[in-house]
Amino acid sequence: MQFSLWLALAGAGALISFTPGAGAINTMSNSLNAGFRRSIWGILGQQAALVIHVVIVALGVGVLVASSPVAFNAIRYAGAAYLVYLGIRQFLSRPNVEEKQAAVLRNEPAWSIFRRGLWVNLLNPKAIVFFLAFMPQFIRPEQPLLPQYAVLTATIVAIDILVMWFFFAAAARSFQRFTRTEQGQLVLSKVFGVLFIAVGILLAFMH
């Protein structure tokens, strides 16, 4: 891949990553609930889903998903339902100001955080459609495809990790002071719960 083309790819990847969405909300929620460092597990789960999306598109399966209303809507509604479920669970969560309870919350298994991030991104068929439109701009069919897909995937993943961890997860740290009081925790739970539900509803009804 030519350096000028790679720069364009990096710029586009940064714009995509900075666009608020379910992944950003999930990252900020993880940072608040599990801590800044452990939020990386959710980010890695989101990247695993991103890699799967790239593979799906590269293999041509993405075209089938995008062209099949049944398959597209099945994934879309499943993703919307999962986000709404996360939102309701967050909205109804009870404040924990006691040190022992807070420790339990922060000790959520890494696999659980990873898996949530994976499903948040994986159950978004619009990402597949997006990559169908996005990837051909940076792939040259006359050149070996595997190295091009490898560079594209590594670039997008690296940029998304940096943006999610050092922007969205770091931004959530500024809200940490609210987690020290029951009222603050209650407000944050409601806010992030509503955000998850809103994104889920948008995913369900936007075409």
pLDDT tens for each residue of the chain, 207 residues long: 778 888 888 888 887 788 778 888 889 889 988 888 999 999 999 999 999 988 888 887 666 666 777 877 777 787 778 778 877 877 777 666 554 344 444 578 899 999 999 998 888 776 777 777 777 777 777 788 888 889 999 999 999 999 999 988 998 877 766 666 666 667 767 877 787 788 778 767 765
Model-level pTM greater than 0.85?
no
For residues 74 and 72, give the distance between their C-alpha atoms in angstroms, rounded to a whole number: 6
Task: Report the chain's terminal Cα–Cα distance, integer Å.
Answer: 33
